[in-house]
Amino acid sequence: MKNILTLCIGNICRSPLAEALLARELPTHRVWSAGLGALVGHPADPTSVQIGLEQGLDLSGHRAQQITSFMCQQADLILVMEQGHKAQLEQQYPQVRGKVFRLGQLGQFEIADPYREPREAFDAAWAAIARGVADWVPRIQQLSR
């Protein structure tokens, strides 16, 4: 399990933070992100960039990209933010079934979209992302041996 894709809607708020944190925690893995309705070419949301900087993560080079069938094929694991994302992705790309999970699956939580919300919403999303990554990293490491 070496190829991990993080997924949200616009690929500018949640999935870039999850991507950067997973990449830091799993340096031998390939981690990237995409969106179901990506704002293609857009940089990460300024508030996500700021949170990233505060956490030692650099999102300055991030550019949003739309999910593709090829990305789905390349990924060993796809971590989404909400159950609705899983349903939409599996409907659009049936071949992903069995490798799509919520980032908050192990802790039984969703990660709400902070887009166009105040900083508190981004802080809540970051806390949930960090918790989800902490839950998943040991499992991914175990499955990658």
Domains in the chain, start-ordered, CATH in brackets? Answer: 3-143 (3.40.50.2300)
Q: Are 128 and 14 in contact (CB under 8 A)?
A: no
Q: Known catalytic residues?
A: 8, 14, 113
Q: For 71, left (φ over 0), alpha (ψ -120 to 50), or beta?
A: alpha
- Kindly report, residue by residue over 3-45, the tens digit of the pLDDT: 999 999 999 999 999 999 999 999 999 999 999 999 999 999 9
Q: Average pLDDT of 77-104?
A: 97
Is 90 exceeded by the pLDDT of residue 68? yes
Chain mean pLDDT for the chain: 97
Q: What is the pLDDT of residue 36?
A: 98
CA 46 – CA 59 distance, rounded (Å):
9
pLDDT (mean) for 110-114: 98
pLDDT at 110: 97
Hey, what amino acid is at 13? C
Whether the Cβ atoms of residue 34 and residue 67 lie closer than 8 Å to each other:
yes
Phi and psi at residue 92, to the nearest 5°: -75, -40
Please provide the size of the chain in residues.
Answer: 145
Segment 105-128 mean pLDDT: 97
Give the model's pLDDT for residue 145: 81
Question: pLDDT tens digits, residue range 123-134?
Answer: 999 999 999 999
Q: What percent of the chain has pLDDT over 90?
A: 97
> Dihedral of the CA atoms 57, 118, 132, 86 (nearest 10)?
-110
